[in-house]
């Protein structure tokens, strides 16, 4: 049965903070961030956006190209949710005018839940092959100011349409996954920033990759050489290099694989960590920027969510895939972002909603199609803007 990713599109807000500017403020050599961590910029969330608006904006252009009545599920993956009970997907369901006969659910397991959502969507589509499922991954990575994690912030959303006979990536049957209860990164309900044991989390990530790869290789009888391109969860872009080193012990193979990965890293190095969306941003960048025709090539994908759950799986790029990309829209989105000053970065960082549910109106900043307008009687209010997204 052929099931997988039919369309992919991403969104990130129209504001970024440069890692060079952060380095100046933190009195750190800029190369530590730009080379050591591999980040050039990080997208910053303005006051009138959240995971709902980012998710809706990511899916908006994609939905203009499909028959919405076939969408029977919206699965929303995030660890930056806006409510303890209601799925943020329901706000998106309304904003995008999705069919009434469509299930909506929210998933959580750190950065991994996007991958589980993809799996769940594939399961639903396999039961009714005429149907499609929309997976939306959206997150805001926030750490304490002046912490080591600060340079690895970011935000964004990726929307994936899952169907049978997919136009982009047909997912292989083999996949390897593991779970273990560790405290490498977490965010208690009372905090707006994550707590992380950074070096430990990086070690756990690499051990998980190693273990998942061994299991995947055993199941599929494939070697790293049989995988044409790798995509990884990228908490910071240099992680790609560390991950590839695990898989390719020979220095020359490693170097040539690193060069091959370049097109896949372009979005992540300017957006920063987008948690659930990060792996799929790597995939989107590879599809959008690869100079070669990728049709028929096998992509290996490694998903890691702290805490932790990890999975390695793969898929085959489909013939004609390049006719179904949103690369021009994505390029415009990034090219039109505004560089924030340090004072503006702090202003956005500290912006907070009243916690007593009192009526509040968010100032207008977004350039997206949907905005988070404010709160009234503890209810979040969303609205459409006049901005064109396609
Ligand atoms: P740090 O202590 O600031 O950095 O933490 P460092 O001192 O280790 O330096 C970083 C690298 O820059 C090092 O290279 C330095 O040598 C190099 P490495 O040893 O790694 O090869 N460096 C330089 N390079 C060139 N020129 C220079 C220079 N100076 C130093 N002048 C850390 C870095 C990533 C740990 C920190 O930013 C952090 O805690 N980030 C957040 C946690 C994180 O991203 N963890 C990753 C794995 S966990 C994960 O992926 C899950 C996650 O996405 C959450 C989820 O699942 O929901 C986070």
260-311: pLDDT as tens digits: 999 999 999 999 999 999 999 999 999 999 999 999 999 999 999 999 999 9
- Phi, psi dihedrals of residue 260, rounded to the nearest 5°: -65, -25
Whether 224 lines ligand 1, by a CB cut-off of 6 Å, is no
Closest C-alpha residue for ligand 1 atom 42:
198
Name the active-site residue from 41, 49, 79, 106.
79
Percent pLDDT > 70 in the chain is 100
Q: Between β-strands 338-339 and 15-18, what pairing exists: parallel, antiparallel or unpaired?
A: parallel
Q: What pLDDT does 115 receive?
A: 98
CA triplet 43, 48, 53: central angle to 5 degrees?
A: 75
- Mean pLDDT computed over 236-240: 98
Give the tens place of pLDDT for each residue, 45-72: 999 999 999 999 999 999 999 999 999 9
Read off the pLDDT of each residue in 339-363 and give the average, rounded to a whole number.
93
Please answer whether residues 377 and 357 qualify as being in contact, where contact means their C-beta atoms are separated by less than 8 angstroms: yes
pLDDT at position 313: 98
Report angle CA 261, 308, 302 to the nearest 5 degrees.
Answer: 20
* Cβ neighbours, 10 Å, residue 254: 15
Tell me, using a 6 A CB cutoff, whether residue 361 lines ligand 1: no
C-alpha span between 132 and 126 (Å, rounded): 10
Q: Element (H or E) spanning 372, and its range?
A: strand 370-376
Q: Is the CB of 185 under 6 A from ligand 1?
A: yes
Q: Are 295 and 320 in contact (CB under 8 A)?
A: yes
Q: How far is the CA of 197 from the centre of ligand 1 (A)?
A: 11
State the Cα–Cα distance between residues 87 and 199, nearest whole angstrom: 33
Indicate if 228 belongs to the active site. Answer: no
pLDDT in tens, 137-186: 999 999 999 999 999 999 999 999 999 999 999 999 999 999 999 999 99
Using most ligand atoms within 8 A of CB, pick from 148, 153, 156 the residue to mutate for ligand 1.
148
Long-range contacts of 123-126 (CB under 8 A, 24+ apart): 124/72, 124/73, 125/3, 125/162, 125/163, 125/164, 126/1, 126/3, 126/164
Label residue 333 by pLDDT band (50, 70, 90).
very high
**Residue whose pair of structure tokens reads 């009434």 in the numeric block:** 100
- Binned at pLDDT 50, 70 and 90, residue 1 comes out as confident
pLDDT at residue 184 in the model? 98
- Say yes or no to pLDDT of 338 above 80: yes
**Which pLDDT value is given to residue 358?**
87
210 exposure class (CB count in 10 Å sphere: 0-12, 13-18, 19+)? middle
- Mean of the pLDDT values across residues 199-211? 98
pTM for the model: 0.98
Q: Would residue 233 show up in a list of annotated catalytic residues for this protein? A: yes
Residue 378 has pLDDT above 90, yes or no: yes
Over residues 2-17, the pLDDT tens digits come to 999 999 999 999 999 9
SS3 240: helix
Measuring from atom 4 of ligand 1, which residue has the nearest CA?
148
HSE of 232 in the Cβ direction (CA atoms, 13 Å)?
A: 25
Per-residue confidence (pLDDT) for residue 390, from 0 to 100 = 64
**Residue 111 is among the residues annotated as catalytic for this protein:** yes
207 lines ligand 1 (CB under 6 A): no
**Catalytic residue from among 111, 155, 212, 284:** 111
Give the C-alpha separation, 314 to 301, whole Å. Answer: 6
User: Is the separation of the CB atoms in 104 and 90 below 8 Å?
Assistant: yes
- How confident is the prediction for the chain on average, in pLDDT? 97
Coil, strand or helix: which one is 306? Answer: coil
**204 contact partners, CB below 8 Å, separation of at least 6:** 182, 184, 306, 308
């Amino acid at each position: 049965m052929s099931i997988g990713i039919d369309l992919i599109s991403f969104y990130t807000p129209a504001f970024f903070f440069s890692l060079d500017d952060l380095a100046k403020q933190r009195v750190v050599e800029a190369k530590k961030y730009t080379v050591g961590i591999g980040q050039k910029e990080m997208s910053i969330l303005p006051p009138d956006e959240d995971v709902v608006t980012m998710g809706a904006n990511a899916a908006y252009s994609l939905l203009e190209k499909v028959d919405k009545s076939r969408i029977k599920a919206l699965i929303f993956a995030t660890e930056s949710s806006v409510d303890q009970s209601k799925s943020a997907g329901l706000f998106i369901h309304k904003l995008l005018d999705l069919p009434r006969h469509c299930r909506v659910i929210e998933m959580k397991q750190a950065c991994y839940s996007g991958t589980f959502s993809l799996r769940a969507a594939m399961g639903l589509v396999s039961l009714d092959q005429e149907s499609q499922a929309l997976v939306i991954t959206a997150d805001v990575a926030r750490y304490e100011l002046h912490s080591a994690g600060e340079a690895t912030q970011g935000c964004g959303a990726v929307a994936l349409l899952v169907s049978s006979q997919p136009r982009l990536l047909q997912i292989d049957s083999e996949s390897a996954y593991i779970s273990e209860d560790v405290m490498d990164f977490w965010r208690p309900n009372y905090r707006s920033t994550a707590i992380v044991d950074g070096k430990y989390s990086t070690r756990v990530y690499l051990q998980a990759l190693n273990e998942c790869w061994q299991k995947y290789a055993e199941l599929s009888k494939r070697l790293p050489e049989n995988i044409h391109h790798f995509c990884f969860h990228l908490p910071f872009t240099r992680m790609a290099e560390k991950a590839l080193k695990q898989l390719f012990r020979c220095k020359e193979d490693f170097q040539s694989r690193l060069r091959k990965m370049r097109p896949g890293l372009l979005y992540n190095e300017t957006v920063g960590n987008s948690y659930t969306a990060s792996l799929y941003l790597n995939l989107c960048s590879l599809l959008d920027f690869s100079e070669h025709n990728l049709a028929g090539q096998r992509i290996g994908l490694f998903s890691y969510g702290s805490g932790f759950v990890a999975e390695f799986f793969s898929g085959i790029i489909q013939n004609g895939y390049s006719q179904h990309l949103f690369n021009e829209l994505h390029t415009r989105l990034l090219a039109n972002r505004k560089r924030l000053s340090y004072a503006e970065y702090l202003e956005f960082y500290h912006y907070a909603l009243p916690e007593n549910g009192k009526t509040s109106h968010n100032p207008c900043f977004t350039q997206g199609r949907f905005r988070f307008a404010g709160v009234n009687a503890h209810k979040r209010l969303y609205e459409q803007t006049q901005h064109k997204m396609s």
